[in-house]
Structure 1
Amino acid sequence: MTWQGSQIDPLSLVAQIRAWASDLGFSQIGVAGIDLGSAEAGLQAWLDNGFHGQMDYMAAHGLKRARPAELVPGTVSVITARMDYLPRATPDAWQAIEFSRLARPNEGIVSLYARGRDYHKVLRGRLQKLQARIAEAIGPFGHRVFTDSAPVLEAELAARSGQGWRGKHTLVLSREAGSAFFLGEIYVDLALPPTEAVSSHCGSCQACMDVCPTQAILAPQRLDARRCISYLTIEHQGPIDEALRPLLGNRIYGCDDCQLVCPWNKYAQRSALPDFDAREGLAGEELTQLFRWSEEEFLRRTEGGPIRRIGHVRWLRNIAVALGNALAVLPASDPRRESLRAALTERAEHPEPLVREHVRWALER
């Protein structure tokens, strides 16, 4: 391996990569090896149990997720990157503030990570800049950048490279940053020294398991995605199970409960990037206002953001459920009920059966 025409110590290169990454807004860099064989049994069992739900791509790629060299031939090491995503103006009591939104049933809750720019775009662009800097220093090398965009065991690679440990909710937890961060990877054909993994610090705490509204966390590190509100509001394409609808509350895109309750997230870091600042209308907005967005307005307001991927129809489906849940909990004398019912009635004859069915259910609440 050479650097600007001379031999380079791989340790020195990793140190330099960390410096470049910091300049690009990344919070931590790690290096993992490619032998993930010990993770294959758990992955296969998760798929065999059908816990992936409609995420057919998970099953389609099978164990390739645990075999980096099969996905990208020639891969020798994996560079992992962490990028914190709390908006720059996040107050210290952010966990309590976010939890308080659940007590306002007429307000729509969008997961914190989804209120700004699509993280896929942010991370991919900056990882590509990072690999370009490496290439400028050492010359061309084999690589491929990933941001939740291919069959990659992202959390496993992150844990093995010292980014943190797998929490009981399956997310990666860091003593310095909680779990409010995104992960990205660069598969490389460079022999880089792996960084040391860290031990688990969850102890006997199971707050994330206890708080889950749908009890989707069946056991430590065992998640049934089919019950997870993030899956139901984002990945699931059809009708939401009627038994689960009341449990969604006013969550219309994702769910942060397991992160909000986690003690380690008192250390969550704010991003230095404006990309993750909340866009207008995605924090503290009334459900009735969000439900009245036309498809054109939905596309305009979500341009460049992650919410756009679910489309306007599923957006309306999710909000209809939240409106129905609000009707179920607000007292009969509450004046807000009239506006909630009026908004639903406006969509009662929507051309999409998926929207009509959820509106009917909501009105019956």
Structure 2
Amino acid sequence: MSLTTQIKEFALDIGYSKVGIIPADSFPEYMADLTKRQEMYSFYIKSPSRPLVAAEPRSLMPTAKSIITTVYDYAQKNFPQELIGKIGRIYQARCYNAPPERINGARPELMKNFLRKMGCQVGEKISLPERLVAAKAGIVTYGRNNFAYAEGMGSFIYLTSFVVDKELEYDKPTVEIGCPEGCSACMKACPTQAIYEPLKLDPRRCIAFNTFMTQERIAGSHIDPEIRTKMGTKVHGCDICQEVCPRNQAKLKANRSDDEFLVKVARDFSLTQMLNPTDEFYSTRIQPLMYNYLREKKYFQRNAAIALGNLGDPANVPDLVIALDDPEELVRSYAAWALGKIGGRGAKQILEEKFKGETSESVKLEIQEALVGMG
């Protein structure tokens, strides 16, 4: 059995659904596109991932010869309705950049260990353009919504690649759009028009981006009010452009067994608890699903405040009032915005009273704008 066959069979054995292999060449088309849109993607280009450098794998690993790329089907079990529309499915599945002590983080570590056992040197921290790699390896096609699609799985997949120093047998590419001709369902459904043309996304308008990349150290913590009102109850990720896609309907309608852990999380989860979380709720109901990008509690609280504001339910006013006393300015600011969205005499009186004792100028500005909006 060839080394290539052994690698592919091991990958399938540990739970990957598809495996492909390509030469460890550069990706000039990706580099050109990213550079062309550097204003939109400056947060990523300047990040520690150094995508423009990693797009030339041999610049980080001179001995690199092959890239092994894998597809993991993360929608093998049901997602609770209580969490749909709040937390993206990929995050509910706990597979995105999972830590090594979790099952989905252990899988790539098992793969690396096997490759080393087979005599391969494995590259570390090489942030490849995963969708392009997988398309070049023939295991996915593109969707106009910018997602990669695998046969039988739709776009509910997670891609992971491994750079090695062995020359292997290479697969044929499928770098093509697999969508129905003329379909633009994803573009029409996007509330913020983030998908401005097929295969082109402005991340600054993407709801998912705004739920987790709007951090002071990355893209600033401010979320434009126009975007806030279109986020609905989404607090971590957004699946809208995948949910409306014809290519995903079979997967969405499939009869699957429940994920018992998610069942327990969904039973306990609420937006009000996310707004004012106890330590236990934060560690057992937020972090296990939403560890991917956010490390500071205040961003989860901000997102919960936006969601509660968009719900517009006066029953949530007492929880937002509690948040107005949070030590974090960010939380107080967005709680004020949410109260302005809910409106009503009681919310207005609370905001007027809180304004008198507020010391933060940014919070006072949010309160003022909320009061103006309430008339």
Question: Structures share a fold, TM > 0.5?
Answer: yes
Distance 2:318 2:265 in 1: 20
- 1:130 to partner: Cα distance: 2.2
Name the % identity: 28
Matched, 1:196 2:165: no
Post-superposition CA distance 1:127-166 (Å, at most 9, x none)? 2212333443x4x221125xxx643211111111112122
Is the 8 Å Cα contact of residues 87 and 276 (structure 1) preserved in structure 2? no
TM-score (norm 2): 0.78
Aligned to 1:250: 233
Is the 8 Å Cα contact of residues 143 and 149 (structure 2) preserved in structure 1? yes
- 1:211 to partner: Cα distance: 0.9
Task: Give the number of the structure with larger relative contact order, counting CA–CA contacts within 8 Å between residues 6 or more apart.
Answer: 1
Is the 8 Å Cα contact of residues 115 and 277 (structure 1) preserved in structure 2? no
Distance 1:359 1:55 in 2: 29
Post-superposition CA distance 1:261-313 (Å, at most 9, x none)? 1111134499x999895263348944223323224531233444433741210
Aligned CA-pair RMSD: 3.0
Aligned to 2:199: 221
Aligned to 2:61: 72
| Counterpart amino acid of residue 125 in structure 1 | A
SS at match of 2:15: coil
| Counterpart amino acid of residue 242 in structure 1 | P
Among 101, 105, 117, the alignment partner of 2:94 is 117
Among 232, 235, 240, the alignment partner of 2:210 is 232
Aligned to 1:297: 281
Aligned to 2:111: 130
Is the 8 Å Cα contact of residues 347 and 359 (structure 1) preserved in structure 2? yes
Distance 2:229 2:140 in 1: 34
| Counterpart amino acid of residue 232 in structure 2 | G
Distance 2:213 2:126 in 1: 16
Q: Could you say if the C-alpha distance between residues 356 and 303 of structure 1 is closer, same or farther in structure 2, counting changes exceeding 3 Å? A: closer
Q: How many residues align?
A: 327
Aligned to 1:330: none
Is the 8 Å Cα contact of residues 208 and 261 (structure 1) preserved in structure 2? yes
Distance 1:83 1:60 in 2: 22
Is the 8 Å Cα contact of residues 72 and 144 (structure 1) preserved in structure 2? yes
Q: Could you say if the C-alpha distance between residues 209 and 364 of structure 1 is closer, same or farther in structure 2, counting changes exceeding 3 Å? A: same
TM-score (norm 1): 0.80
Distance 1:127 1:112 in 2: 20
| Counterpart amino acid of residue 333 in structure 2 | E
Is the 8 Å Cα contact of residues 250 and 325 (structure 1) preserved in structure 2? yes
Distance 1:86 1:294 in 2: 30
Among 259, 270, 276, the alignment partner of 2:242 is 259
- 1:33 to partner: Cα distance: 2.0
Q: Could you say if the C-alpha distance between residues 361 and 352 of structure 1 is closer, same or farther in structure 2, counting changes exceeding 3 Å? A: same
Dislocated runs of 4+, deviation >6 Å? 272-276
Among 176, 192, 208, the alignment partner of 2:186 is 208
- 1:234 to partner: Cα distance: 0.9
| Counterpart amino acid of residue 265 in structure 1 | N
Distance 1:259 1:53 in 2: 25
